[in-house]
Amino acid sequence: MSDPKFTPRVFSGIQPSGGLTLGNYLGAIKRFVTMQDEAFETVYCMVDMHAMTVWQDPKDLAHNTRELAAGFIASGVSPEKSILINQSQVPEHAQLGWIFNCVARMGWMGRMTQFKDKAGKNTENVSLGLFAYPALMAADILVYHATHVPVGEDQKQHLELTRDIAAKFNHDYGVDFFPMTEPVIEGAATRVMSLRDGSKKMSKSDPSDASRINMTDDADAIAKKIRKAKTDPDALPSEVDGLKDRPEARNLVNIYAGLNEQSVEEVLRDVGGQQFGTFKPALAELAVAKLSPISTEMARLMADPAEIDRILARGAGQAREIATPILKKTYEIVGMVG
Ligand code: AQP
C-alpha cells in the first residue's frame, strides 16, 4: 500500500541509447500506457543523461531521443494524458542527483549488477557516470515524489536502491519527505531475452541485431529474426513446468503471451504439442500485427521532428511545476541558502 500522504504518481524512463526494442515495449511501455488511464499522474522520460554514461555520438543521441518520444506516442502514451520529457530539459533531476550522490554509499553502488555487467573487466576505463547513474535514477523518480515506477525485471535492484536512498535521506535529516516508491513489474514478459541466447537480456546495445526485435523493424525483418531465433528440438509443452531448463522456448512463449495479452498458461493450453516450425510463424504473424502499426506511426511522427520538440518542451514546463517545489524544499531541508 502506498502512503496516502503522497499523490499517486508514476515516473519511468527509457534511455535513448539506441532504438527501442521489443524488450522495452513489453517490459515497460505497455504498462506506461495502461497506467496513464488509471488513477495516477504519469511522467515518462527519455533519460538522455543516463544514455551518455556510455559514449553516444551527439547526432545519434538527438535522433534517438526524438525517435524514442515517437515510439512512446505511437505505442499509445498520450501527451495529453501524460507528461512527456527528456531528462536534460528538466535540470532539477541533475540537481537532486547531486544531493543523492552524497546520500548513496559507495558500497551500495558497487553492488549494482547492471554496473558490473556493463563495465565487465573494464572498471578502470568506464565513466564515473556509469557508476553513479543509479543515484541520478533515484533523483529522476523522487524529484516528482513518484509513488510507482513501471519497469522490467532488470531494474528491480535500482528501485531497491531508490528506496534505500529515500530512507537514508529521511532518516539522516529527521524528515518524512521522500516516499517509498513501489516498483510495478507486471505482465508475462518482464524480462525478454535475446533471440540468440536465452540467458542474456534483449538489449538495444547488443552488437548482434539478430538478438533483438527493434520497434522500427519491418515485417520481413521481424519474421526472419523469429524464424532464426535459437530454440531446442522439442515440441512445446502444455504446462508451464515443461518450460523449465528451456530458456529459449520460455522466452518465445513469454513474448507471445505479452504481445497477445494472455498468461503463459493460456498460451500453452493452445500451443502445447506444437513444433517450433508451426509456432514460430504464428509468433511472427502476431508480432507483425502488433508492431507494424506502431512502426508506421513512429515513421509518420519522425517526419515532423519540430512537433516532437514542441511536445517535449511543453512536457518540461509541466514537469518543472511538480519538480521545482520538491527540489526547493529538499534544499531547505539540507541547509542550502537561497
Ligand atoms: N529485455 C527486456 N525485457 C523487459 N524489460 C526490459 N527493459 C529493457 N530491456 C528489457 C525495460 O525497459 C525500460 C528501459 O530500459 P533502459 O533502456 O533505460 O535501460 P536498459 O534496461 O539498460 O535497456 P537496454 O535495452 O538493455 O539498454 P542498453 O543496451 O543501452 O543498456 C526499463 O524499465 C527496463 O526494465
* pLDDT at residue 2, as a whole number: 65
**What pTM does this model have?**
0.95
Answer yes or no: do 250 and 153 share one domain: no
Domain carrying residue 236: 209-300
Task: Name the residue with the closest Cα to ligand 1, atom 24.
Answer: 203
Answer yes or no: do 280 and 310 share one domain: no
Cβ neighbourhood burial of 268 (10 Å; 0-12, 13-18, 19+): buried
C-beta pairs of 250-256 under 8 Å, 24+ apart in sequence: 250/198, 251/192, 251/193, 251/195, 251/198, 252/226, 252/276, 252/279, 252/280, 252/283, 254/188, 254/189, 254/191, 254/192, 255/22, 255/26, 255/189, 255/192, 255/283, 255/287, 256/282, 256/283, 256/286
Answer yes or no: do 213 and 318 share one domain: no
Measured CA to CA, the distance from residue 259 to residue 267 in angstroms comes to 11
Would you say residue 275 lies in a domain? yes
Q: Rounded to the nearest whole angstrom, what is the distance from the C-alpha of residue 29 to the centroid of ligand 1?
A: 11
Answer yes or no: do 150 and 221 share one domain: no
Measured CA to CA, the distance from residue 80 to residue 65 in angstroms comes to 19
Closest CA to 140 of 259, 132, 213: 132
Catalytic-role residue among 30, 201, 280, 290: 201
Answer yes or no: do 172 and 317 share one domain: yes
Answer yes or no: do 263 and 276 share one domain: yes
Answer yes or no: do 291 and 324 share one domain: no
Answer yes or no: do 178 and 131 share one domain: yes
Q: 18 in the Ramachandran plot: left (φ > 0), alpha (ψ -120 to 50) or beta?
A: left
Would you say residue 4 lies in a domain? no
Answer yes or no: do 235 and 270 share one domain: yes
* CB 21 near ligand 1, within 6 Å: yes
Strands 41-46 and 148-150: unpaired
CATH number of the domain bearing residue 290: 1.10.240.10
Instruction: List the grid coordinates of 8.
Output: 499517486
Q: What is the pLDDT of residues 69-123, one digit of tens each?
A: 999 999 999 999 999 999 999 999 999 999 999 999 999 999 999 999 999 888 8
CATH number of the domain bearing residue 23: 3.40.50.620
Pocket test for ligand 1, best of 53, 133, 154 (most atoms within 8 A of CB): 154
Q: What is the pLDDT of residues 214-226, one digit of tens each?
A: 999 999 999 999 9
Number of domains in the chain: 2
Would you say residue 250 lies in a domain? yes
Sole residue written with cell 499523490? 7
Catalytic-role residue among 81, 118, 224, 230: 118
* CB 205 near ligand 1, within 6 Å: yes
Measured CA to CA, the distance from residue 319 to residue 269 in angstroms comes to 45
* CB 200 near ligand 1, within 6 Å: no
Q: What is the pLDDT of residues 267-305, one digit of tens each?
A: 999 999 999 999 999 999 999 999 999 999 999 999 999
